[in-house]
């Protein structure tokens, strides 16, 4: 069981994430969208959606800091465990509260607004369940094992386990003493990662950063294969229009 959860599940999730994304990109570009429901209801969304998204982005940054920055590094720049704990407690809680409030408002809107609820698919419902579970469990785990003076130091256990996954030698034993809530949160989190390519969460991979660097007006030539009996042959063609 331990091996399955901490040795196999992470790899399964990552394989599903990568393979699923490639599959989605090749077979379902048309379905790759945020599926916005803003045309039905705008007022609540304008508050809740930025709140949730900015919250969850800070949460992601927090996870990257906690899991991928070894304790040794923060020690070297003179950040001791207690200071780090306070940073993670206050910063993480602030981001978490934003995300939780945001998603609760979004869920309320989704349930009570008839057109929005009608546009909600079964796929969405599963996704919302797992997403909400992951966020709430994470908050719960953090707050249940923390006080201002000290908190559970996941950087001795969970973080090294996560990093060991990348060397393909998962350090399963590290997860043995981890509190139950953290373990459930980790499993649900992995499940969420696996779900990403198969739900609307896929829109996170289309963050349009390229918009900052392209010219405003985009010109494109007509698809050459679209007209005429056959595509142009090489040899005689002049360069493109």
- What residues line the site for another protein (CB under 8 A)? 29-30, 32-42, 45-46, 49-50, 52-54, 114-115, 118-119, 203, 206, 208-212, 214, 216-222, 224, 227-228, 232, 234-241
Provide, rounded to whole angstroms, the least separation between the CB of residue 238 and another protein: 6
Spatial CB neighbours of 128, under 8 Å, sequence gap ≥ 6: 107, 110
CA distance 230 to 73: 61
Neighbours of 6 (CB within 10 A): 25
Neighbours of 175 (CB within 10 A): 20
Q: Find the Cα–Cα–Cα–Cα dihedral 183, 188, 191, 197, rounded to 10°.
A: -130
Provide, rounded to whole angstroms, the least separation between the CB of residue 97 and another protein: 17
Provide, rounded to whole angstroms, the least separation between the CB of residue 179 and another protein: 33
Helix axes 122-144, 81-112, angle to 10 degrees: 150
63 contacts 128 by C-beta, under 8 angstroms: no
Provide, rounded to whole angstroms, the least separation between the CB of residue 107 and another protein: 16
Residue burial 185-209, b: 16+ Cβ < 10 Å; e: rest: bbbbbbbbbbbbbbbbbbeeeeeee
Provide, rounded to whole angstroms, the least separation between the CB of residue 123 and another protein: 13
């Amino acid at each position: 069981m331990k091996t399955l959860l901490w040795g196999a599940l992470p790899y399964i999730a990552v394989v599903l994430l990568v393979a699923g994304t490639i599959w989605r990109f090749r077979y379902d570009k048309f379905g790759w969208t945020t599926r916005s429901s803003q045309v039905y209801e705008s007022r609540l969304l304008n508050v809740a959606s930025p709140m949730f998204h900015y919250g969850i982005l800070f949460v992601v940054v927090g996870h990257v800091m906690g899991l991928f920055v070894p304790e040794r590094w923060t020690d070297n720049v003179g950040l001791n465990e207690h200071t780090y704990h306070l940073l993670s407690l206050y910063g993480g809680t602030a981001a978490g509260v934003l995300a939780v409030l945001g998603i609760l408002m979004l869920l309320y809107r989704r349930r009570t607004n008839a057109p929005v609820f009608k546009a909600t698919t079964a796929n969405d419902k599963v996704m919302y369940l797992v997403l909400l579970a992951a966020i709430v469990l994470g908050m719960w785990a953090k707050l249940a094992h923390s006080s201002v003076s000290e908190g559970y130091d996941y950087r001795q256990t969970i973080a090294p386990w996560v990093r060991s996954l990348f060397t393909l030698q998962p350090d399963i034993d590290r997860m043995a003493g981890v509190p139950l809530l953290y373990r459930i949160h980790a499993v649900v989190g992995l499940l969420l990662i696996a779900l990403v390519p198969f739900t609307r969460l896929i829109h996170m991979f289309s963050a349009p950063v390229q918009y900052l660097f392209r010219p405003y007006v985009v010109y494109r030539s007509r698809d050459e294969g679209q007209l005429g009996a056959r595509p142009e042959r090489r040899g005689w063609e002049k360069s493109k229009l």
